[in-house]
């Protein structure tokens, strides 16, 4: 995945090259395919480019459009739906970056754009008109964002190490985070660094007048959308939703691979994904890790289930690691 970062000096001082240099150095492992910086006075945005699919190859971030500046790490899954809602030219479908759709969505719906986006994303938008910094994560939090709200500076980054590289206050360990982690409970926004926080999935952050506001725009809840009287109806509904979710994330422009453990999750995805690709005369590349045939010990693997999946899906090209 790519990475993003930003610096906002609350005291009005211009962002220093030294600040940017330290942060970029800390994030250099995420910039294998390039990087970009936008700076204007006391605010700066950055982008570390790590190409994962073809639409990212020509992506240049941060991008400035009219009164907005955007930096984003994203993979949008509901592109077709957004192209219709935004009335965009679908001739640009294969080449237009997902960040372009995020910017267009923000220009149309403002900070409510997150209600229309589906997929994995973390992005920040600077509104030059009202002086608001808007940061958002996807509903689950697949693409992480961390932030530090200091007395004179606000910093956000895809990794904690980027913030620690320029934070001038000491790095205190959060004992509360350690307790929460061990018992799988507590505040979702805590990190091991007492002064650095996570912006969890389904949340947005606004920095305005040097103060931050957090808002939850999505939570997992039972809305009573589905109601069936038989078990088979539930099974068919689940199968339909599962297939649609996989189809939505399928990129036919690139070879498709899967880590196949033989467990329920990966096997279920393989059994839906392989036939979808077979209809298009494409293989599914599967990668599995197993124990030696005559392994002695308490450990066991799911080799026999992997073999059953391979027989069931003849277009799987299997690679085994021992």
Non-local CB neighbours of 260 within 8 Å, separated by 6+ positions: 266, 267, 270, 286, 287, 288, 306, 309, 316, 318
Beginning with the edge strand found earlier in the chain, give each strand of the sheet holding 203-208 in spatial order: 63-65, 68-76, 119-127, 132-137, 203-208, 211-216
As a whole-number percent, the residues of the chain with pLDDT over 70 amount to: 98
CA–CA distance, 155 with 162 (Å, rounded to integer) = 9
| pLDDT tens-digit map of 142-194 | 999 999 999 999 999 999 999 999 998 999 998 888 888 777 677 788 999 99
pLDDT digits (tens, 9 = 90+) for 228-279: 999 999 999 999 999 999 988 888 878 999 999 989 999 999 999 999 999 9
From-to residues of CATH 3.40.50 in the chain: 231-321
Q: Model confidence at 224, in pLDDT bands (50, 70, 90)?
A: confident
Residue 287 has pLDDT above 70, yes or no: yes
Q: What is the pLDDT of residue 57?
A: 83
Q: What is the mean pLDDT of residues 124-152?
A: 96
**Paired sense of beta strands 203-208 and 211-216, if any:** antiparallel
Cα–Cα distance between 110 and 231 in angstroms, integer?
Answer: 42
Predicted pLDDT of residue 158: 97
Task: Please check the confidence at residue 92 and state whether its pLDDT lies above 70.
Answer: no
Average pLDDT, the chain: 92
Q: Strands 3-9, 153-157: parallel, antiparallel or unpaired by DSSP?
A: antiparallel
**b/e map 77-112, b = 16+ CB within 10 Å:** bebeebbeeeebeeeeeeebbbbbbbbbbbbeeebe
Residue range 106-132: average pLDDT?
96
| Per-residue pLDDT band at 211 (split at 50, 70, 90) | very high
CATH topology of domain 3-216: 3.60.20
Domain 231-321, CATH among 2.60.120, 3.30.300, 3.40.50, 3.30.1490: 3.40.50
Taking alpha carbons only, the member of 170, 124, 127, 131 closest to residue 147 is 124
Residue pLDDT, tens place only, 49-80: 999 877 788 889 999 998 999 999 999 999 88
pLDDT over 70 (residue 202): yes
Query: Residue 179: its pLDDT value, please?
Result: 84
Numbered ranges of CATH 3.60.20.10 in the chain:
3-216
Query: CA-to-CA distance for 51 and 58, rounded, in angstroms?
Result: 10
The fraction of the chain above a pLDDT of 90, given in percent, is: 77
Identify the residue with better confidence: 42 or 52.
Answer: 42
Give the mean pLDDT of 93-114.
90
**Which is nearest to 157 in space by CA: 64, 28, 13?**
28
| Beta carbons within 10 angstroms of residue 56's beta carbon | 19
Nearest CA-CA partner of 247 in 225, 269, 267: 269
d(CA 132, CA 124) in angstroms, rounded, equals 10
Give residue 94's pLDDT.
63
Residues pairing with 156 in the sheet: 6, 147
pLDDT band at 93 (very low <50, low <70, confident <90, very high): low
């Amino acid at each position: 995945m790519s990475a993003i970062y930003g610096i906002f000096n609350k005291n009005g001082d211009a962002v220093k090259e030294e600040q940017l240099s330290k942060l970029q150095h800390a994030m250099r492992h995420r910039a294998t395919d390039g990087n970009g910086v936008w700076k204007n006075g006391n605010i700066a945005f950055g982008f570390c480019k790590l190409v994962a699919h073809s639409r990212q190859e020509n992506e240049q971030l941060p991008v400035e459009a009219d009164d907005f500046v955007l930096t984003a790490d994203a993979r949008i899954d509901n592109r077709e739906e957004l192209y219709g809602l935004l009335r965009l030219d679908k001739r640009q479908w294969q080449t237009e970056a997902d960040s372009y759709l995020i910017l267009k969505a923000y220009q149309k719906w403002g900070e409510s754009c997150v209600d229309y986006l589906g997929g994995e994303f973390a992005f920040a938008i600077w509104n030059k008109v009202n002086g608001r910094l808007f940061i958002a994560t996807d509903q689950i939090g697949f693409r992480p964002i961390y932030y530090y709200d200091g007395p004179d500076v606000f910093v956000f980054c895809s990794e904690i190490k980027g913030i620690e590289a320029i934070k001038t206050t000491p790095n205190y360990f959060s004992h509360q985070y350690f307790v929460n982690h061990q018992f799988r409970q507590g505040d979702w926004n805590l990190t091991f660094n007492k002064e650095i926080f996570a912006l969890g999935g389904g949340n947005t952050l606004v920095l305005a007048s040097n103060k931050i506001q957090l808002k939850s725009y999505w939570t997992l809840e039972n809305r009573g959308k589905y109601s069936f009287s038989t078990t088979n109806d539930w099974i068919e509904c689940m199968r339909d939703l599962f297939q649609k979710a996989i189809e939505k994330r399928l990129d036919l422009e690139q070879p498709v691979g899967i880590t196949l453990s033989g467990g329920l999750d990966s096997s279920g995805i393989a059994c839906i994904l392989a036939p979808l690709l077979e209809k298009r005369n494409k293989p599914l590349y599967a990668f599995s890790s197993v124990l030696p045939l005559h392994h002695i010990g308490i450990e066991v693997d799911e080799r026999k289930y992997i073999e059953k999946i391979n027989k069931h899906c003849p277009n799987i090209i299997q690679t085994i690691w021992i």
